[in-house]
Amino acid sequence: MPILFLIVVIDLIGFGIIIPLLPLYAEVMDADPATVGLVMATYSLAQFVAAPLWGRMSDRIGRRPVLLISLFGAVLGYVWLGLADNIWMLFGARAVGGFMAGNISTAFAYVADVTTRETRAKGMGMIGAAFGLGFIIGPAIGGILAGNDPLTADYQTPALAAAALSALAWVLGLAKLKESLAPEVRARLAARPKSTRREQFRKALALPNVGLLIGLSFLATLAFAGLEATFAMWTKRQFGWGPEQNGYVFAYVGILGALVQGGLIGRLNKRFGEARLIVQGAAALALGIALIPFSANLATLLVAMTIAGYGFSIISPALNSLISLQVDEENQGGIMGVTRSATTMGRVAGPALAGALFGFLGMDWPYIIGATLMAVVMILAAKSRARFPHEKPQSGA
């Protein structure tokens, strides 16, 4: 676990470097808000196509090879991003990076391999903490390297720095990471007939409770991804900010996420259980997103982002943990791959929808719609909470 945690942190620092500058990078290339949303969605669309493949592959050949392949692919995607000089190159770079981004679902499967059912929420929280640390260090580095003026910012250097960090993570994984999936389990999985992505989805969604949880994961990710995709454009218009200021705000949200997922989630899970945490996280995310349009100054905006960041930091690991507890050991990789596919589809629909709302209805509309969706998630989760005793796994995927 410690070496996996370090690898994921380093890789996600590289990912975090890009977050505060990519929407502004696209706008410099004369993209309108709707096109910016599509640029942000491209990475996740390619990831959606590839995620089931990585899930099946990690079950058959092991978690380690998949992590190494995907890290190497991330290096190529970031280098292309740094060399982009038009909007189509930007689309292409994000597509390559997204297609090779199989490391996160595999990392969750790795955690499921090496934890017990009682410690799984804590293990998932550690990967969530790696996300948090990536969002602390990465956006700050990206913002500092790019600068505070959206028109004259250096967008190439942060992309190349992200490539270097992913290369470092690849070297570390090659040298230190051990395989988590036992050979006998891989042999049994390799002997199974291959299933299509549609069949994987059908089997996963047919399991008791799993379909609902995957749907909630999709909606929560859609809402938060819409916030991420439009936030830099919103602050540029509201406050005149560039990449640097946005980088600091995202770094602050990352600190919050690391504190919640790295230290608080285990204690909260023991006290409330995953199902109650999902309701709590959805309520907080709805409130935080709803407050953004009313943020006329930095203090109010930080309050809104604190509440939203806390909500997503709670709901994401709680959903992943509860999903993993519905299936048996041999289906962890496949189910987490399907789950990751659903959440990456949320990262396709979220930016695309938010960008269109931003461009055609106004800059506050992504947050109005996002908050409404999270209120729906909260109601659905509250009504179905009694379904999830979560101690008994289901089989048959």
| CATH code of the domain in which 106 resides | 1.20.1250.20
Tell me the CA distances in angstroms from 381 to 97, 265, 266, one per residue in order: 33, 18, 20
Higher pLDDT, residue 20 or 181? 20
pTM over 0.85: no
Quick check: 357 pLDDT over 70? Answer: yes
Any domain includes 396: no
Q: How confident is the model at residue 393 (pLDDT cuts 50, 70, 90)?
A: very low
CB 22 within 8 A of CB 152: no
Supply the range of the domain harboring residue 31. 2-177+197-385
Question: And the tokens for 245?
Answer: 């200021």
Would residue 203 count as lying in a domain?
yes
pLDDT digits (tens, 9 = 90+) for 63-101: 888 888 888 888 888 999 999 989 999 999 998 888 887
In a domain, 145, yes or no: yes
| Number of compact structural domains in the chain | 1
Q: Whose CA is closest to 290, among 362, 374, 195?
A: 374
Contact 220, 319 (CB under 8 A): yes
| More confident position, 134 or 396 | 134
Residue 390 inside a domain? The answer is no
Residue 228 three-state SS: helix
DSSP string, 137-173: HHHHHHHHHH-S-TTT---HHHHHHHHHHHHHHHHHH
Task: Identify the DSSP state of 394.
Answer: B
- CA end-to-end span of the chain, whole Å? 26
Residue with tokens 């939203």: 308
- Give the span between the Cα atoms of 264 and 1, in whole angstroms: 18
Q: Is residue 32 part of a domain?
A: yes
Whether residue 190 lies inside any domain: the answer is no
Position 11 in a domain: yes
pLDDT (tens digit per residue) in 231-244:
999 999 999 999 99
Interior CA angle at 30 toward 24 and 34, to 5°?
75
Give the DSSP H or E segment for 229. Answer: helix 210-239
DSSP bridge pairs for 312? none
Instruction: Decide if 183 is inside a domain.
Output: no
